Amino acid sequence: GAGVSQSPSNKVTEKGKDVELRCDPISGHTALYWYRQSLGQGLEFLIYFQGNSAPDKSGLPSDRFSAERTGGSVSTLTIQRTQQEDSAVYLCASSSQGQALHFGNGTRLTVT
């Protein structure tokens, strides 16, 4: 079946603009994660959704970052007033509870 799908694959934006990144998880996966990967670095946890529970937003770096998950499926990560330090690859992953995470190929965000 289809894996985790992320769009766009690449996004270039000007400093100060807002961006939206989209994630389509694997059908039936109740858990959805967003991670950030800066150039040559590891994966930094951002936010976690599980079913209808309140999301864990503890990894969001500032209040410019927000995410939602509609209908327990598609998720959108929004970054407001982008800064150059927001440039990174944003990775989405989904899983069945207690099982391995399946990652998408990410959105490469460049803030100029």
Partner 1 sequence: GENVEQHPSTLSVQEGDSAVIKCTYSDSASNYFPWYKQELGKGPQLIIDIRSNVGEKKDQRIAVTLNKTAKHFSLHITETQPEDSAVYFCAATSYSSYKLIFGSGTRLLVRP
- Which residues are at the interface with partner 1 (CB under 8 A)? 4, 31, 33, 35, 41-43, 45, 48, 50, 56, 59, 91, 93, 98, 100-106
Per the DSSP assignment, residues forming a β-bridge with 33 are 48, 93
Cβ 84 vs Cβ 111: under 8 Å: yes
Single-letter amino acid, residue 24: D
**Nearer of residues 56 and 80 to partner 1, judged by Cβ:** 56
Minimum distance between the CB of residue 55 and partner 1, rounded to whole angstroms?
Answer: 11
- Distance between CA 92 and CA 104 in Å, rounded? 6
**Nearer of residues 33 and 65 to partner 1, judged by Cβ:** 33
